[in-house]
């Protein structure tokens, strides 16, 4: 088994494929650099590594913060209701969450037209 010179030379690769591969490599390097630079800057701002912040606080925030799609004034949640990270879609009508109602994670409560 020797090296096949026809498959190992750049002359046999179409120019658009070479350009495409180079563009992908440059883009990946740029994205990697931006990630590292963002972490470095945020680490300096907060005084601790950003990975620590993301790993410690982001999951808790995402699991316990509900989201509202539509007019927030149409949503009424009782103070003792637990809605976790429920998505409320208020495209039409009103949603009332009464006392002692609870929702599991990733629940969607929708109203509107089909």
pLDDT in tens, 62-80: 888 899 988 899 999 999 9
Is the whole model's pTM more than 0.85, yes or no?
no
Assess contact for 86 and 109: CB atoms under 8 A. yes
Mean of pLDDT values over 83-98: 90
What does the pLDDT read at residue 113? 63
Residues 6+ apart with CB under 8 A from 106: 85, 87
How much is the pLDDT for 12? 60
> Across all residues in the chain, what is the average pLDDT?
77
Q: How far apart are CA 47 and CA 50, in angstroms?
A: 9
What's residue 1's pLDDT?
46
* CB contact set of 82 (below 8 Å; sequence gap of 6+): 101, 102, 103
């Amino acid at each position: 088994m020797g090296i096949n010179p026809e498959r190992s030379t750049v002359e046999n690769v179409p120019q658009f494929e070479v350009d495409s591969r180079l563009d992908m490599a440059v883009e990946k390097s740029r994205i990697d650099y931006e990630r590292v630079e963002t972490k470095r800057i945020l680490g300096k701002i907060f005084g601790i590594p950003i990975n620590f912040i993301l790993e410690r606080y982001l999951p808790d925030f995402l699991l316990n913060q509900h989201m509202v799609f539509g007019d927030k004034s149409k949503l009424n949640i009782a103070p003792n209701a637990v809605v976790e990270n429920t998505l409320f879609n208020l495209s039409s009508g009103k949603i009332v969450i009464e006392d002692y109602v609870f929702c599991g994670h990733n629940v969607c409560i929708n109203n509107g037209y089909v």
